[in-house]
Amino acid sequence: AGMMLEARGGASGVSNEDATKFYEAALGVYKGILEEDPAHAFSLKRKVSCMRGLGSPEALTTAVGFLNEYLELYPTDVESWRELSEIYLEQGHVEAAKFALEECIMLSPVNYVNHTMLADCLYTLGDHGTARKYYAQSLELNNTPTNARAALGMVLCTTAIHGKRGATQEEKSNNGPLFVVGKTALLESYAHLPTNNAGKEVSKLVKRWLNAA
């Protein structure tokens, strides 16, 4: 019943007022279940989904609270840690998102997406040296054209370190070869674009940018 109400709240064409009513009704269903079983994992997670569906800044803050309560009971749920990081990023709390993604990597060290997302946070925070390490790890786990985001991140990090005043010896170490790794992987990704005029033009622009980097 709760998920049916959520689906109606998220349906296209539903007014904000009606959507709010549906999500609040769904919350009521899950709260009723939790009164009987406070550790009911499904209902705890659906409460988070309802608050995200409402979408207001206040609702997102409540969603964070619900998700942290859930993770206290189920701390090994890697998908929930990733969801927490996504909400933090929606709120602009990059440092908090970084912590959640570090938990993801501890729980699932071979998932390349987690490494890329953590690297994105570190890059945003200005820690290019550590971000470069996680982009490199992501590319090591998935060095295919589907991982263009990590390849681009590697190029951006190595370029930033190259132009950084006072870069440490550790940051400078292997920076050139790692730039080549990122550049090669990025070119490989764009080589798989459709061979129509638009695809060719994008590939040409990327090559021009990389040659100038």
CATH class of 110-213: mainly alpha
Per-residue model confidence as pLDDT tens digits over 70-87? 999 999 999 999 999 999
The per-residue pLDDT for 98 is 98
Domains 1-107 and 110-213 share a fold: yes
Q: Three-state SS for 72?
A: helix
Sorted by where each begins, the domain ranges of the chain are 1-107, 110-213
Mean pLDDT, residues 134-156 taken together: 95
Mean pLDDT, residues 126-131 taken together: 95
Question: What CA–CA distances, in Å, run from 14 to 10, 17, 58, 116?
Answer: 7, 8, 21, 36
The per-residue pLDDT for 197 is 66
- Alpha-carbon distance of 23 to 55, in angstroms, equals 11
- Average pLDDT over the chain, rounded to an integer: 90
Comparing 7-16, 128-137, 138-147, 162-171, the range with the smallest average pLDDT is 7-16
Question: What CA–CA distances, in Å, run from 125 to 19, 26, 136, 203?
Answer: 36, 38, 18, 29
- Alpha-carbon distance of 25 to 163, in angstroms, equals 55
- Alpha-carbon distance of 113 to 110, in angstroms, equals 9
Torsion of CA 52, 53, 59, 64, to 10 degrees: -20
- Alpha-carbon distance of 75 to 73, in angstroms, equals 6
- ∠106-179-197 over CA atoms, to 5°? 105
Per-residue model confidence as pLDDT tens digits over 93-106? 999 999 999 999 99
Residue 173 in this model has a pLDDT that exceeds 70: yes
- Alpha-carbon distance of 145 to 95, in angstroms, equals 29
Name, in order, each residue with C-beta under 8 angstroms of 91's C-beta and a sequence gap of 6 or more: 57, 60, 61, 64
The CATH homologous superfamily for domain 1-107 is: Tetratricopeptide repeat domain (1.25.40.10)
Taking the model in full, what pTM does it have? 0.86
